[in-house]
Amino acid sequence: MSQQALSPYQLVAGVAVITLDNPPVNGLGLALRLRLEEALRVAIADRAVRAIVLSGAGRGFCAGGDITEFDLPAITQSPSLMALFGLIEDSPKPVVAAIHGMALGGGLELAMACHARVAHEQALVGLPEVHLGLIPGAGGTQRLPRLVGVETALNLIVQGRTCQAYTMRDSGLFDQLTSDSPLDAAQALALKLADQVGSGSALRRTGQLSVHMHDAAAFFAYARATAKAQSRGLPAPEAGVDCVEFATTLPFQQGLEGEFEVFSRLRTTAQFAGLRHVFLAERKALEVEGLPSATSPRPVERAVVIGGGTMGSGITISLANGGLSVTMVERDQNALDRGLMTVRQHYEGAQKKGRLSAQQAEQQLSLIKGALDYQGVAEADLVIEAIFEDLQAKREVFEQIDALARPGALLASNTSMLDINQIAAFTGRPQDVLGLHFFSPAQVMKLLEVVEGERTAPEVMATAMAFARRIGKTAVVSGVCEGFIGNRMLQPYMMQAGLLLDEGALPHQVDRAIERWGMAMGPFRVSDLAGNDLGAQIREQRLTQNPNLVYSRNFDAITRMGRFGQKVGRGWYDYVPGQRAPEPSGEVNAAIEAESRRLGIQRRIISDEEIVERLLFALINEGAKILEEGIAQRSSDIDVVYTAGYGFPRWRGGPMFCADQLGLKYVFARMRHFAGGHDYQRCEDFWRPSALLCQLAEREQSSSALNQSEKS
């Protein structure tokens, strides 16, 4: 078959330029692998071709393997990545990678199989597979140490770090860095290598390079122990150390085989299943159901944040980090000065830690200014209200910004609990009003709940999702209800935590059980962090609306003691100055035991398993109710909320994914068991399964069915 019929590459002055083209990130799925193999074989056989350059179409070189194929037969179908990269490395003609945008995971492994690499200095490179519970599985752990040395390779592989190419200028990974087109430079280098081959020089094949490591056994033992200590029991980091050790102790081909064996084993673990689910769920969450495909986001360049407290300052920083011009508005000069000082201290701290250069810090600060009036609202594309949770106060803010904002500006509330539809009704433009619920500290936490009101326009939703991506947030759409998705589910979780105290547990036992299971912080440590007085306000509001809710009276007892949490050094725990870990409080434990006596309850030993199940199943059941009501678009969105915003272990996939892994029938049966608890707790009401959960359990369906059935 002729080259013209195949058209697998563009021939430029003797160089075959093969372009990876699989939008959006040129993932190495089976279809692309087949096209790439065909193009390589044709180019190698074509006498007119002296050298080959691999380039990427669109916004980057290649972001790696296609994760959607990882549990399909396609992942093992020929050509495998290992075979394809072997074809490249064994090519008698020079193969050069031209890297722009990104070369991540399998994309970087592809580049390392080439005989040379030219990268744009701002290109993002790395082997982040560990964040999916995997190790590089197509030669990355064997080729990277041969190019950059063992220590640098370990840091990249075990930590899953990504970095810009210029930071690895002297590492040996790249043959050339450029601020111009890497494709032009790669073509020139490819021809130079072809001339050298023609003169009898051998190509530099990565797999033939040697790896030297002094006192390797001691070094890898230390690296393995460090990885184990930092990985909280996840197997991939330690496995990464093992595979890099293969590179120093085994011939190249045996090292590749060992790496692939480890990769294949990790691909069957529960950790990979959970991490893969969250990875795909975060991308699915970007899709707004019912949004017309032609809907275009509005431009957002200038923003106003009303409020300069902890949340307002954090939001201001987040917006400036995304390149937006931000005006922070406060009611008096002292409050404004405090807010702006908080912002400045953040950037100064980032500079001291080496996260930003002095120039970058000043550039970010130059985007931020303060004001004591609302005049900046008239020029803003986005206004975010971030004051305290009082509906009347928010009404006053929205009436003022409604009078000043230009047509088409987005008016957003950062409320965590209040009704967005009521807030929208305070304006004459409810179609432009929505909730943007940031999580504290806003400059750190990734989650952003985008709350869609009854009359929020499709354009506004499209704009909000694009805005979230720009400022680096993980966005999830929520409908309007008390607490939206995350905080609404948190309430039954906290209720169960308190009732466990009544029956025999103590705060440190509850926290320890759920933290060992994987949660970043247990419920009582979270309560101390947020402020127990704030929790008391939320309970009061909820009980006013629904007097039948049952909370443990221990919550009110510690509030009456003035134990408001970390901010006062006393909460569910005692906080000793200079001591990192909180101490269980004898005073609190005595009060808990007294409450059990008041209730006439004989305290019992409660297993960690029961603690975990009662907390987890409370989340699952409320999540199912949220789906029934259409508050969440899909069950995987709930998983994203909890893994991105509430410390739920990513490797467990989120509460709804856990329900699938356990089996809805099992969850349903355990809830019925818990419904037989103490009468005063109204257990029958609390543990009554949602209608959707009952339906799916009876049908023996799973979380995937829950996703599909949420609107039925």
Query: Active-site positions?
Result: 109, 129
* Structure tokens, 568: 């006062």
CA-based angle 59:65:68, to the nearest 5? 105
**H or E element at residue 642:** helix 635-645
Residues contacting residue 160 through CB under 8 Å, at least 6 positions apart: 126, 127, 128, 129, 130, 131
Give phi and psi for 406, each to the nearest 5: -75, 160
Quick check: 635 and 706 in contact, CB under 8 A? Answer: yes
3-class secondary structure, 430: helix
Residues contacting residue 209 through CB under 8 Å, at least 6 positions apart: 146, 147
Residue with tokens 């949490």: 565
Closest CA to 318 of 477, 460, 466, 444: 444
Residue with tokens 């272990």: 649
| CA atoms of 137 and 114, how far apart (whole Å) | 17
Quick check: 185 and 43 in contact, CB under 8 A? Answer: no
User: In Å, how far from its chain's centre is CA 142?
Assistant: 28
Q: How far is CA 640 from CA 327, 477, 516, 711, in A?
A: 30, 11, 21, 19
| CA atoms of 660 and 662, how far apart (whole Å) | 6
Rg, C-alpha atoms of the chain: 28
| CA atoms of 712 and 707, how far apart (whole Å) | 10
Residues contacting residue 108 through CB under 8 Å, at least 6 positions apart: 64, 125, 126, 127, 140
H/E/C letters for each residue in 588-614?
HHHHHHHHHHHHCCCCCCCCHHHHHHH
